[in-house]
Structure 1
Amino acid sequence: MKGETLLAVDGLTVSLHGSDGAASSILRDVSFDLREGETLGIVGESGSGKSLLALAIMGLLPTTATPDGRITFEQQNLLTLSDDEMCHVRGNRIGMIFQEPATALNPAMTIGDQVAEGLVWHRRMSWRAARAEALRLLDRVRIPDAHRRAGTYPHEMSGGQRQRVGIAIALALEPALLIADEPTTALDVTVQAEILDVLDELVRDQGMALIFVSHDLGVVANTCERMIVMYAGRIMEEGATRAVLADPANPYTRSLLHAVPRRLERGQRLATIPGAAPHLTHLPRGCAFSDRCPEREVRCREVDPPWISLPEGRGSRCIHDPSRETSR
């Protein structure tokens, strides 16, 4: 059984301010909860706002972006914290594995020192004690010959090894929440499986909550208990992962599942979603998915789709759903 609510995102909207002073909403009315020890997947095409949501939770939005709403973590609204206060949350209580380890790691610091740095800063450990703990962490994330590797630099390691280092850094302080932003995107299938195995083992052993950002439905299906489907900066569907994948309520989720690569007959074409996702600063009127949706009607281009609450904690954003009960 999962614990109390750890993270509550309520009505989060992020506005991007252009050089001309005009503002565009690039995240719109995002709301969801995450309990202690729960695993949540966030899926969607590139440009849907997944990574932007992760950065908003971490307080790492660009200076041209302004968040509104609430992000309540451990009973405090992160959006009201000062930079210094947020520094004590970031890394310490919320860890993050970034999408590209080659750019996330410091090229001028050894691997061992990068893992040890957070322990020195937040735990006030001596460098000697922190480096000893860093060796233990590198060994735990299955870095071969960790003692020797601790003295090397990021460019001397493979992509899979760099991602393991990123996991070690994120987990060094045993945060209550870990955000993994597409941690396996640039890795081959074999290394991806190894990384997911390491991540699953560590999250399970330490009992932390996990937000797993990905465009890969298969990975989310094997990693997360619940999932959120995002498109054009909004949540289109949410619910238990197995239920959503077995019986998707939203046309966008159905389109994503239809486009998953599968075994084809000779000459048969791979299914795709026509067109491209709209830019977050130039969204169409009505439902943002309407131009690409196989189930669209004329009113889909005119009416902003409501959020529909469904049984068993599920929900969908679409005007077509006949089983809607209440709107939010």
Structure 2
Amino acid sequence: MKGDTLLAVDGLTVSLRGSDGVASSILRDISFALRPGETLGIVGESGSGKSLLALAIMGLLPAAARAGGHITFEGQDLLALSDDEMCRVRGNRIGMIFQEPATALNPVMTVGDQVAEGLVWHRGVSWQKARAEALRLLDQVRIPDVHRRARMYPHEMSGGQRQRIGIAIALALNPPLLIADEPTTALDVTVQAEILDILDELVREQGMALIFVSHDLGVVASTCQRMIVMYAGRMMEEGATHAVLTAPFNPYTRSLLHTVPRRLERGQRLAAIPGTVPTFTHRPRGCAFSDRCPERETRCHEVDPPWFSLPEGGGSRCIHDPGRETSR
């Protein structure tokens, strides 16, 4: 680990071997660093590899997937750890809030015991003390009537309450890194705002680093200091959130921003990017975005775009060179 870097992802690749025995790359050449207390957004369309990147960091990839490169957290390479060693990191040093709490929570265990379980497992405290701490955590994430709610099961609670339980579980051990994988996608706008407010408050108070995975550029703009734009398993652009959203270099980032709903006259259609994200088994030659890019040239279909640094920091993957090229 260099300097004050908490997490360093270097040349991460994830491949999946199909039934025919052929391995296909899902994530390719992912590299970034995260400092303590920093907030990083990861955005892109469905199928871009955002959630898979989060699962790779957590060591939760499907059995048929294989990861290469390095994921260095607190000085140790997570990809080199055994399953038992990774279990001691997961939840204890890296917390994760999953997209759908209904499937992430144990349906036959009370929510209070689910919050307390990590304290018993990782800290070795008694169930009595762990349950008392669980009540404090449930109150911290604004669960009303915590003594009664702690004895309830996930199916007895609303979607917003279940997501609050997920946040309490992820924060129970005060991990230095929290990964939130689209934690507000299934919630209505009012509940979404409440969840984001809770996350912002807790991250600031506890000083933890945050990786926020989302397809919502507005949420990332209000939540994260830096952001990464992904497409078809690759990083397309990286930089300070304000810089990326106000002066994007990459054509894909510009296309995404163009689709953000704005005030429209009656009869006007919402903007959309034509086509769909290619699957990892049917990616086009050259730039993966070339078939959909409004700025494509002939060579876009032939040349694998390099990663270039941007003058203000960050970088972009495109055949158009904004400055000095860096190895990625």
Shorter-chain-normalised TM-score: which range?
over 0.9
Residue deviations 1:66-114 (CA, integer Å, cap 9, x gap):
0000000000000000000000000000000000000000000000000
Distance in 2, Cα, partners of 1:76 & 1:26? 24
1:64-213 alignment to 2 at 5 Å? 64-213=64-213
1:201-240 alignment to 2 at 5 Å? 201-240=201-240
Distance in 1, Cα, partners of 2:280 & 2:119? 38
Q: Secondary structure at the match of 1:229?
A: strand
Give the C-alpha shift of residue 20 in structure 1: 1.5
Question: What does residue 304 of structure 1 align with?
Answer: 304
Question: What does residue 251 of structure 2 align with?
Answer: 251
Distance in 2, Cα, partners of 1:22 & 1:148? 53
Distance in 1, Cα, partners of 2:24 & 2:282? 8
Letter in 2 for 1:78: L
Give the C-alpha shift of residue 320 in structure 1: 2.0
Number of aligned residues:
325
Question: What does residue 31 of structure 2 align with?
Answer: 31
Distance in 2, Cα, partners of 1:54 & 1:213? 8
Distance in 2, Cα, partners of 1:221 & 1:207? 19
Question: What does residue 295 of structure 1 align with?
Answer: 295
Letter in 1 for 2:13: T
TM-score where L is the length of structure 2:
0.98
Letter in 1 for 2:257: L
Gaps in structure 2 of 5+ consecutive residues: none
Distance in 2, Cα, partners of 1:135 & 1:281? 47
Give the C-alpha shift of residue 168 in structure 1: 0.1
Sequence identity (%) = 83
1:271-290 alignment to 2 at 5 Å? 271-290=271-290
Distance in 2, Cα, partners of 1:280 & 1:204? 37
Q: Secondary structure at the match of 1:249?
A: coil
Q: Secondary structure at the match of 2:312?
A: helix
Regions of 4+ moved over 3 Å: none
Give the C-alpha shift of residue 36 in structure 1: 0.5
Question: What does residue 19 of structure 1 align with?
Answer: 19
Distance in 2, Cα, partners of 1:237 & 1:317? 6
Give the C-alpha shift of residue 57 in structure 1: 0.2
Residue deviations 1:264-323 (CA, integer Å, cap 9, x gap):
0111111000000000222111000000000000110000000010123220000024x2
My pick for the range that moved more, 5-14 or 312-321, is 312-321
Contact in 1 for aligned 2:180/2:212 (Cα 8 Å): yes
Question: What does residue 49 of structure 2 align with?
Answer: 49
Question: What does residue 324 of structure 1 align with?
Answer: 323
Gaps in structure 1 of 5+ consecutive residues: none
Give the C-alpha shift of residue 324 in structure 1: 2.3
Letter in 2 for 1:326: E
Give the C-alpha shift of residue 327 in structure 1: 2.8
Letter in 2 for 1:169: I
Question: What does residue 5 of structure 1 align with?
Answer: 5
My pick for the range that moved more, 136-145 or 281-290, is 281-290
Give the C-alpha shift of residue 185 in structure 1: 0.1
Distance in 1, Cα, partners of 2:204 & 2:282? 41
Letter in 1 for 2:143: I
Distance in 2, Cα, partners of 1:254 & 1:186? 26
Contact in 1 for aligned 2:311/2:323 (Cα 8 Å): no
